[in-house]
Amino acid sequence: MKNPADPILRLADIRRSYNVGTEVETEVLHGISLALQPAEFVALTGPSGSGKSTLLNIIGLLERPTSGRLDIAGQPAQSLDDAGLTRLRGATIGFVFQFHHLLPAFTALENVLMPSIIAHGTATPGAEAMARDLLARVGLKGAEHKRPGELSGGMQQRVAIARALSLRPRLILADEPTGNLDTVTADEVFALLREFNRDHGSACLIVTHDPRLAARCDRLVALVDGRLVSS
């Protein structure tokens, strides 16, 4: 039986190489070990090219490590095939990116419902009620039927956050979610992530170059040249 206090994320000696077996084989992650507890809010920082995006892709089950162990919600990810990884990702992880990646032909409400539609084949009444509630909580009540092109950049990012949280993920991965926003909107988006982190006990790993935001996280993890240098 799983202990609810167990880490939601555990990395042990994760390595990632490209062009394996060739003369130009390059290792970009060099033995990363890290654990993230439920309800923890952690900033991942580091210079460009340090391996942050690669690490986030591995944690998000979008890319497989070359070696090492990765457990998500107590499940050893390396033992899963692609279909199993997709199911675990959909059931456990919510993504927020620097670019919102909303579907332009769909309304804000339909975009938020998309993870439910993908997971269950349809948007249930319960899922729609939750999507409307999430949009209200991110300050978009009344904008449910607007398409992304009718919303400001900050509003579009709020829709993306609501979409990421629509299935109540146990782990939120945010890759520079405020990178394209002005300071005021960035603070509002950060506050929304913090609110869901507190209210639902979701762990959050946020990649940021903003030292103001990093300083407001529970813990700071720095990645330099593919190595974890502080935690």
Q: Is residue 3 scored above 60 in pLDDT?
A: no
Q: pLDDT, tens digit, for every residue of 93-136?
A: 988 877 778 999 999 999 999 888 887 777 777 888 889 988 98
52: helix, strand or coil: helix
Question: Mean pLDDT in the chain?
Answer: 87
Q: Cα–Cα distance between 24 and 18 in angstroms, integer?
A: 8
Question: What integer pLDDT is reported at residue 1 of this predicted model?
Answer: 42
Question: What integer pLDDT is reported at residue 229 of this predicted model?
Answer: 86
Lowest-confidence pick of 24-28, 77-81, 82-86, 181-185: 181-185
Q: Is residue 4 scored above 60 in pLDDT?
A: no
Token pair listed for 71: 């457990």
Mean pLDDT to the nearest integer, 165-172: 88
Domains and CATH numbers, the chain: 39-64+77-230 (3.40.50.300)
Question: What integer pLDDT is reported at residue 39 of this predicted model?
Answer: 93
Question: What integer pLDDT is reported at residue 71 of this predicted model?
Answer: 95
Mean pLDDT to the nearest integer, 11-24: 88
Contact 147, 159 (CB under 8 A): no
Q: How many CA atoms are closer than 13 Å to the CA of 229, on its beta-carbon side?
A: 11
